[in-house]
A and B are shown apart, each in its own frame.
Chain A
Amino acid sequence: MVGLSVGEKHFIQGGIAQDLRSDGRKRFDYRPISVETGVIPQANGSARVRMGATHVIASVKAELGKPSPLQPDKAKVAIYVDCSPTAAPMFEVGNISLPCDKCHSVYMSSCSLSRSTINYRGRGGEQLSTELSAALQRCLLGGKSGAGAGINLSSLSVVEGKICWDLYVDGLVVSSDGNLLDALGAAIKAALSNTGIPKVHVAVSASADEQPEVDISDEEFLQFDTFGIPVIITLTKVGRHYIIDATSEEEVPNELGYLRFY
């Protein structure tokens, strides 16, 4: 996306100061939101969320694994966000040229002074993916000790110290028009509510050293309790006012902050 001109930035800021955004919304109006669950049949749970032109998909896969020695009674949850290159051209893997540091123009093509091109692979997308993953991890799983976690990890442990469920929560950004964190938070919450963890029967006769035998049931599923999972709402500051659900044009020149709500 080409950057915004100074005139466009002033236009957006002025409009927001008068409680009028480019698409006619007020400062605290959301775009139409649509949520669909069960979009990925082979995952344990999945959801798709659309907020205007922002389109994200979240999927949850559960596998049996060994719990970490520090927290033997808790399951492990890994959250990973991937920005698909379809979302925006800057998210592709490949060589991307850096902004020229001699004349501060945004694209190399408009710089007449420097001919050098610094190449690195896919940094635009990976940086955003890492930021989103870290933010979601903090929101949903709380701090390092597990305090403030949205998911009850102890309920997913099968045999304490030996077997627990590994949950892999994958977010995919298909189309990005601002407010990715809210959309991903909503998608993950919906996907977890759609998730069915198969019931596991543990063989009774197992000694303390051996791995117990487990029988994963195909028929019975446990539903997740998603009451404790937070809904993320991002407030973007534009000029001296705050707005909700910023589009990518409104996000560009401004400082970003987010608050988490239950």
Chain B
Amino acid sequence: MEYVSPEGLRLDGRRPMEMRQIRGELGAVAKADGSAVFEMGNTKVIAAVYGPREVQNRSQQLNDQALVRCEYSMANFSTGDRMRKPKGDRRSTEISLVIRQTMEACILTHLMPRSQIDIFVQVLQADGGTRSACINAATLALADAGIPMRDLVTSCSAGYLNSNPLLDLNYVEDSAGGPDVTVGILAKLDRVTLLQMDAKLPMDIFENVMQLAIEGCKAIANYIREVRTFQLVLPVVEDHLGTIREYQATGVSPGHIVFLSLPFLKGIPSQLTLPNSAAQVPFW
């Protein structure tokens, strides 16, 4: 099967070095200490972080650092055919371990001894690259929770089909049986925290593919930095008379001054509420 056409287009119309469209959003799960949604093309993942909090299982408590736990689960409807068992199967356990090790390398655990940080990742839609999307979502969620980290961890996958290195494989390309290299890096420090590969590659081609994946990671890191500080989402709630009753802003860090211009309003609310902060900002 031809994964890269002679004109240089892949099955979904992308160029070999082109990543899918990415989108990240903070604050998806209101009850969690930090949460985020991350989409890479059709792969959609929610991450929630609870912590630092008291260790539930005393025997696992570490006296000099925080305990990081991670769980990965896929929704029943995430794949094309309905999955029977969303949790506890081997692949989920393996990916949970991988995400845990990756995030543990970047969290400053020595600052929070005898505590526990839980990272839960839920896959809503799976279309290849779920591992990478989970790590990116976990990074955003940890940032949303305010947990101190060395750097942002971003992850991207790359493969090699029809003699072309391809960036960000989707499900069809992933199931082709070719090599799939997943890389996770600390963006600014330029260090690799995760490197996994399925199948085989000759050494020189592997260098190329890994370099391509690292470029992808850096591009995602640039995007994530923008999400963290500048995104302002204003879903508006109107009552039956059409009067604006409620605004909720997400993704804005406290301490930022936000200027909004909102045309076409039917009513002016008296308050603008920012979640993640108890204060309510007077609106004028």
A108 touching B120 by the CB < 8 A rule? no
B56 touching A107 by the CB < 8 A rule? yes
A94 touching B77 by the CB < 8 A rule? no
Contacts of B59 in A (CB 8 A): 117
Q: In whole angstroms, how far apart are the Cα atoms of A63 and B47 in the complex?
A: 30
A214 shortest CB reach to chain B, Å: 18
A86 touching B86 by the CB < 8 A rule? no
Residue of B nearest to A61 (CB): B82
Q: Is A168 an interface residue (CB 8 A)?
A: yes
Q: Select the stretch in B7-15, B68-76, B223-231 that faces chain A.
A: B68-76
A170 touching B57 by the CB < 8 A rule? no
B12 shortest CB reach to chain A, Å: 14
Q: Is A172 an interface residue (CB 8 A)?
A: yes
User: When A82-B76, A121-B88 are in contact, do A87 and B29 touch as well, CB less than 8 Å?
Assistant: yes
Q: In whole angstroms, how far apart are the Cα atoms of A172 and B35 in the complex?
A: 17
Most chain A CB neighbours (cut-off 10 Å) among B48, B54, B58, B87: B87
Q: Is A40 an interface residue (CB 8 A)?
A: yes
B57 touching A82 by the CB < 8 A rule? no
Q: In whole angstroms, how far apart are the Cα atoms of A175 and B35 in the complex?
A: 10
User: When A41-B42, A122-B87, A176-B31 are in contact, do A95 and B57 touch as well, CB less than 8 Å?
Assistant: yes
User: When A93-B71, A109-B54 are in contact, do A177 and B77 touch as well, CB less than 8 Å?
Assistant: no
Residue from A52, A55, A170 in contact with B75 in the complex, judged by beta carbons closer than 8 Å: A170
Q: Mark A103-126, 1 if CB is under 8 A from B, else 0.
A: 000011100000001000110000
Q: From residue 59 to 107 of chain A, which have CB atoms closer than 8 A to chain B?
A: 59, 61, 63, 80, 82, 84-89, 92-97, 107
Q: Is A53 an interface residue (CB 8 A)?
A: yes
B56 touching A174 by the CB < 8 A rule? no
A85 touching B120 by the CB < 8 A rule? yes
Q: From residue 76 to 124 of chain B, which have CB atoms closer than 8 A to chain A?
A: 76-77, 79-80, 82, 86-88, 118, 120-122, 124
Could you say which interface size class chain B belongs to?
A: 35 or more
Contacts of A248 in B (CB 8 A): 31
A90 shortest CB reach to chain B, Å: 9
Q: Mark B106-144, 1 if CB is under 8 A from A, else 0.
A: 000000000000101110110000000000000000000
Per the CB 8 Å criterion, the residue count for chain A at the interface is: 42
Residue from A59, A84, A117 in contact with B73 in the complex, judged by beta carbons closer than 8 Å: A84
Q: Is A42 an interface residue (CB 8 A)?
A: yes
Residue of B nearest to A108 (CB): B58
Residue from B48, B55, B73 in contact with A109 in the complex, judged by beta carbons closer than 8 Å: B55
B122 touching A84 by the CB < 8 A rule? yes
Residue of A nearest to B42 (CB): A41
Q: In whole angstroms, how far apart are the Cα atoms of A97 and B55 in the complex?
A: 11
Q: From residue 239 to 262 of chain A, which have CB atoms closer than 8 A to chain B?
A: 248
The 8 A-B residue pairs with the shortest CB-CB distance, nearest first, are: A86-B48, A53-B30, A59-B77, A85-B120, A170-B76, A175-B29, A84-B122, A86-B120
29 contacts between A and B (CB under 8 A): A32-B246, A34-B235, A41-B125, A46-B77, A53-B31, A57-B124, A59-B76, A61-B77, A84-B46, A84-B122, A85-B71, A85-B73, A86-B46, A87-B31, A89-B56, A89-B120, A92-B118, A93-B71, A94-B71, A107-B54, A108-B58, A109-B54, A117-B57, A117-B59, A170-B75, A174-B46, A175-B28, A175-B29, A175-B31
Interface residues of B, Cβ cutoff 8 Å to A: 28-32, 35, 42, 46-48, 50, 54-59, 69, 71, 73, 75-77, 79-80, 82, 86-88, 118, 120-122, 124-125, 235, 237, 246
Interface residues of A, Cβ cutoff 8 Å to B: 32, 34, 40-43, 46, 52-53, 55, 57, 59, 61, 63, 80, 82, 84-89, 92-97, 107-109, 117, 121-122, 168, 170, 172, 174-177, 248
